[in-house]
Amino acid sequence: MSNLKADLDFSPDLTRLLETPDDVLLTRQDMATITAMVQQQILGRTKEGEFLNVKGKSPYTRAYYLKRRREKDYQNKYATLFYSGNMLKAMTGDVVFDEGVPVAEVGYYQEKTDEDIWDLASYHQSLGAGTNKVVRKFVGVTDEEADDIRLELQRLLDSHLK
């Protein structure tokens, strides 16, 4: 099975944050909070037309933009992946357990995702969309977003230590 998901491993950070990492475990609810946070980061960044592999905003080609504008009165000249909204709404977040430790996963899972949406997400994330095969990586986090996640993990851990 293939998956398009954010690869987030903060275990080295957790080890540094805790003097005795075995004493405190993040709960399923804690990881659900992190999962929701990552989803919102991805949606917010993508809505602004910012992607992991492109500096600045990624403009549509003029022909594509004019075609879309005629079809739906589409006003955004930059790629946001929100044309219908269906692909981004289909992104899922889940908490899975890896050797008893809850892990946050965000992305698309081929066995759970509609085939058309899976294909579309795959084209944008890695295969390249459109005639020019443009890749706009959106599943994942920036360094700044990872820092925000670390701060939230610290807050959650602190709440357990009180």
Q: Where are the domains of the chain?
A: 3-155
Asked if 124 and 138 count as a contact pair (C-beta separation under 8 A), the reply is: yes
Give residue-wise pLDDT tens across range 67-89.
666 666 656 556 667 767 788 88
Provide the whole-model pTM: 0.77
Helix residue ranges per DSSP H, the chain: 11-17, 28-47, 62-72, 86-89, 115-122, 143-161
Burial of 60 (0-12, 13-18, 19+ CB in 10 A): buried
Q: Within the chain, which residues score under 50 in pLDDT?
A: 1, 18, 20-21
As a whole number of angstroms, the distance between CA 138 and CA 52 comes to 6
Average pLDDT, the chain: 77
pLDDT at position 68 is: 63
pLDDT at position 96 is: 79
Task: Count the neighbouring beta carbons within 10 Å of the beta carbon of residue 14.
Answer: 18
